[in-house]
Amino acid sequence: MSWFVSILIGLLTAGFGALFGFFVADQAVRWLRVSTFEGAAGYAVMLWALLALIGGLVVGIVVSRWLGGPGVAGAARGLGYGVLILGVGIVACGGLAWLAAEHEPEIAGQALDLGFEVRLPAGMAKPVREPYSFYASLHSGGRSVMDDLHEDEMHQVDGHWIVPGTVPIVTARRDRVLGIVLKPAPEQYFDLPLPPKPGPDDQQWSGWFTTSFLADRSAPLPDQQYWVRYRVQFRPPPPYVAPDREATGK
């Protein structure tokens, strides 16, 4: 095989590498959640595609010289082996990116939400939705997700207002902190003893607990301290039924 043909095979392999590398890199930045701020994700994709292009050129030339042969059949064999080897390498890199990515925990292949109820202190007035003051947040593994509380499902039990809500569980980490924002009390946080990968047992309601703290890790005033209970549920959640009503069947 002449050097001209080897270089031509290298260029064809490089073209395949750039296209396939671009596709895999585009998926990888999504799996790894690379920030799009100032085009960081786009630069990462282009860099990966460029490396695949250069790698394809080198692989194509080397493999064609090593495994190719004379004539059209030899050139086709060299090109085929070059594309195969490069493709396996790109897929392997993509697989490593997928393994390194943070995946949402699931039960039986279904995505999960954290369902919870907030019990307000006795005598505290019914919460009223205000801008930036009627939501919950779930912090885990450096990520935070927020969702509105369920205003239309609030109810009273023994003089306490109960405010339900849900937030998506997006990471398989142990450090989960639930934040509750309801005016006029300050935002309160709860450390949740929820395993990284919840199981069927975690779909049962927990007991009430009140180990809440403020943003500065101090304890809230006793007349402002919330109580919380929670469970894991499938997304989208089932029709809401208050735990007390579940127990009585009413």
Contacts from 97-103 at CB under 8 Å and sequence distance 24+? 97/27, 97/28, 97/31, 97/32, 98/28, 98/31, 100/32, 101/31, 101/32, 101/33, 102/33, 102/141, 102/143, 102/170, 102/171, 102/172, 102/173, 103/172
Query: Which of 37, 167, 182 has the alpha carbon at shortest distance from 111?
Result: 167
Q: Which amino acid is at 178?
A: L
- Tokens representing 164? 């339900």
Beta carbons of 167 and 136 less than 8 angstroms apart? yes
CA–CA separation, 171 and 210 (whole Å)? 24
pTM: 0.63
State the Cα–Cα distance between residues 231 and 144, nearest whole angstrom: 18
Angstrom distance (rounded) from CA 112 to CA 169: 6
Cis omega (within 30 of 0) for bond into 184: yes
Tell me the three-class secondary structure of the chain, residue by residue.
Answer: CCHHHHHHHHHHHHHHHHHHHHHHHHHHHHHCCCCCHHHHHHHHHHHHHHHHHHHHHHHHHHHHHHHCCCHHHHHHHHHHHHHHHHHHHHHHHHHHHHHHCCCCCEECCEEEEEEEEEECCCCCCCCCCCCCCEEEEEEECCEEEEEEECHHHCEEECCEEEEEEEEECCCCCCCEEEEEEECCCCCEEEEECCCCCCCHHHHCCCCCECCEECCCCCCCCHHHCCEEEEEEEECCCCCCCCHHHHHHCC
What's the token pair of residue 211? Answer: 């180990």
Q: Splitting the chain (250 residues) into consecutive groups of 10 residues, what average pLDDT does each group show?
A: 85 93 91 77 90 92 83 86 93 89 82 94 86 88 86 91 92 87 88 90 92 89 91 78 54
The neighbouring-strand residues paired with 112 are: 234
Per-residue pLDDT at 77: 86
Strands 106-107 and 212-213: what pairing?
unpaired
Residue 64 half-sphere exposure toward CB, CA atoms < 13 A: 29
pLDDT of 238: 58
pLDDT of 250 reads 45
Q: Where are the domains of the chain?
A: 3-100, 106-248
